[in-house]
Amino acid sequence: MKGSDAVLTFGGCTNFDQVSLLVKNYDSNKFGLLDQFESCAHSFSASPDHGGHTALGCMQILVNAMNGADEGEEMDEAIAALADLLYNNAGDFCDCAAKASADCPLCSSFVHVKTLLFESLDACNSLDEIDCDAWAEFQKPCEKKIIDQFGAVDFTDSDICKFADLFHGM
């Protein structure tokens, strides 16, 4: 019952087909750009020199995964969907993945689901490792550009909000 609940929970928060969660053979070594994002974030967090990475560089890998830039990977659709959920709705997605993982038994009947949940939780932990640094790397140049353009940061001014939104896409 708990395994079925886990499948329903995770399927509900990801819109993944519940049948494919049970039968699709997810290989934990073939999550392409999502694996690269995780590696980048772990290296950034663990190495004194950040492994030669920036937090925003790691985030760019996640954006590329979300946009399906990892052509040729067998699971590019699943990778893009997970990356999108992580980038656009991390709190709810990670809470959902954690709940589903806690409910999902570690047995052969649920091995494919458990693999997908493990990858999801690793991606969530990776985001936690870099999110503050990525914000700091983004915020400082954004603030400077706003001040250079408008003289001050005042988000009650709709022009500044539009400008900041454009800068976010850069």
Which pLDDT score is estimated for 25?
Answer: 75
Q: Which of 92, 88, 94, 81 is nearest to 123 (CA)?
A: 94
Domain boundaries, the chain: 2-136
118: Cβ contacts below 8 Å, ≥ 6 apart: 28, 101
The answer to whether 126 and 23 are in contact (CB under 8 A) is no
Which pLDDT score is estimated for 133?
Answer: 93
The answer to whether 24 and 74 are in contact (CB under 8 A) is no
Rounded CA separation 152/43 (Å): 36
Q: 9-23, pLDDT tens digit by residue? A: 888 888 877 656 665
pTM beyond 0.75: yes
Strand boundaries in the chain, DSSP class E: none
Please, what sign has the CA dihedral across residues 36, 40, 42, 43?
Answer: positive
Report phi then psi at 164, rounded to 5. Answer: -65, -40
Average pLDDT, the chain: 86
